[in-house]
Chain A
Amino acid sequence: MSESEYIALCQKGDMDAFNQLVLMYENKILNYCYRILGDRTDAEDATQEVFVKLYRFIGSFTGQSAFSTWLYKIASNVCLDLLRKNKRHKTETVSLHQQNTEGEEFMMYVEDGSPTPYEVAQKNEAQRALLDALEKLGEDQKKVIILRDIEGLSYEEIADITGTAPGTVKSRINRARKALKKLLEKDRELFLLS
């Protein structure tokens, strides 16, 4: 059965079809949220919320855009809200004022004794270095790198999800990658070896 057939069934109330849609997308959404939020527990909470929202709003999906981009948009919004909530409630023991690659001020919160954000064991040093560098990118740049290079979405899909023009996507990806290259210059050898 095709995805659009499942969606049509969901809109008529078919719980089995909804179950199928969840199976089709839960890994993608979990990983996307994980990369945006940097914390597995937060990513799991966000993913749960994304699919409850999907259930509540699937009746209003008209098929004008692709279902996957619509779902990614929901996930982006859920993550954005979670990031905002976390910013307000976080108690910092040490905070460092930093400037990210888009010239925005951001606070790096360091809590005593807490585990580093990336709990998944990284295959190698290059990946760890890349994730550290990713954290230093501005929100917009980080998002396009995640969507393009980690999630593997097309420029068109990214334009849809982020609500920006395709030209903007092109230049944003270009600038983000350049920024990453600059941040990773000191680790160049790690990348040339892998």
Chain B
Amino acid sequence: MKDTCENVHEMLSLYIDDMLTEAETKQVEKHLQTCQACRAEYVFLKSIVSTAQSMPKLTVDTAFHEKIMENVAQAAKESQKPKPARKNVWKLASGFAAAAAVVALSVISLNSLPGHPELTPKGQTEPIQSEAPQEATASETKDSSDTPKKGGKPAGTVQTPAAPTGSEPVLADEQVSPYVRAIPETQTDYPVVSYCFTEEGYQAAISILSGFDKDGEVYLVPDEQKDEIRAKLEAVSGYLEHEEMQLEDTGFLKIVLSKE
């Protein structure tokens, strides 16, 4: 690049961040030595950057920190409650098999975590008992397809309430943590973006996504199209908000839609 003032101006930002090549750096430094105008621009820009770097920072106080931990504890409690009933009753049947498999899977994966000696003796065939069996009992007919995911009884015990007996594994609070229950069963099931629309917007969103593969309720948009689809969805007149969890790249953007 020619050593003109205009070119040097273009390089000042990268020069300040030490992001130029050695040759480019030398070029800029040489120019600044002799050109007063450019030196003035450099000093001004550097000063703006320094001002930003020394911006006063807020600090968190103990009360704020404690509030964070309280909210987290609250979220932990909420994740243990049985989920509300699914509206599609016929799905319960297929849900049982899936749920049982899921329980087995999560028990196995827990057992394979190092440093969990208290879990391994419970074996891989017995499910983790939820810490509030009374809750499971009361809502068994509604939640049977969901409680196993929370580490409760397998769906097969819908008919008979699962009262804790001596032979069942009962893990104390400290042994089975709330985090365990909050971990999604499989990574691929996890929606990345949840879009929320009005009724009208929801219909529009469905038609935008109509060409794409679906994994249950999750639309799979290939990476090449994700920006385009995002823009389209957000431009819909019934668009309200979205919640996005940018997880690791899987080649797809996973979208779920919901209504207000």
Spell out A's residues near B (CB within 8 Å): 10-15, 18-19, 22-23, 26-27, 30-31, 34-35, 40, 43-44, 47-48, 51-53, 55-62, 64-65, 70, 73-74, 77, 81, 84-85, 120-123, 126-127, 130-131, 145, 148-150, 152, 155, 163, 170, 173-174, 177-178, 180-181, 184, 188, 191-192, 194
* Interface residues of B, count at CB 8 A: 55
Residues on A with C-beta less than 8 A from B44 are 181, 188, 191-192
Nearest A residue to B245, CB-CB: A57
Q: How far is the CA of A170 from the CA of B49 in the complex (A)?
A: 15
Q: Establish whether residues B68 and A48, one from each chain, have CB atoms under 8 Å apart when the complex forms.
A: yes
Judge whether B84 is part of the interface by a CB distance below 8 angstroms.
no
Judge whether B179 is part of the interface by a CB distance below 8 angstroms.
yes
Residues on B with C-beta less than 8 A from A12 are 113, 115-116, 177, 179-180
Q: Of B115, B180, B244, which is within 8 A of A77 by CB?
A: B244
Instruction: Give chain A's interface secondary structure class.
Output: helix
Spell out B's residues near A (CB within 8 Å): 10, 13-14, 17, 19, 41, 43-45, 47-60, 64-65, 67-69, 71-72, 75-76, 79, 113, 115-116, 176-180, 182-184, 187, 190, 241-249
Q: How far is the CA of A84 from the CA of B243 in the complex (A)?
A: 12
Q: Of A18, A40, A60, which is within 8 A of B58 by CB?
A: A40
Contact count A vs B, C-beta below 8 Å? 156
Given contacts A27-B58, A62-B248, contact A191 B72 (CB under 8 A): no
Given contacts A149-B53, A155-B17, A177-B13, contact A19 B45 (CB under 8 A): no
Q: List 9 A-B contacts (CB under 8 A).
A: A13-B176, A30-B64, A47-B68, A81-B243, A126-B47, A130-B52, A192-B47, A194-B47, A194-B50
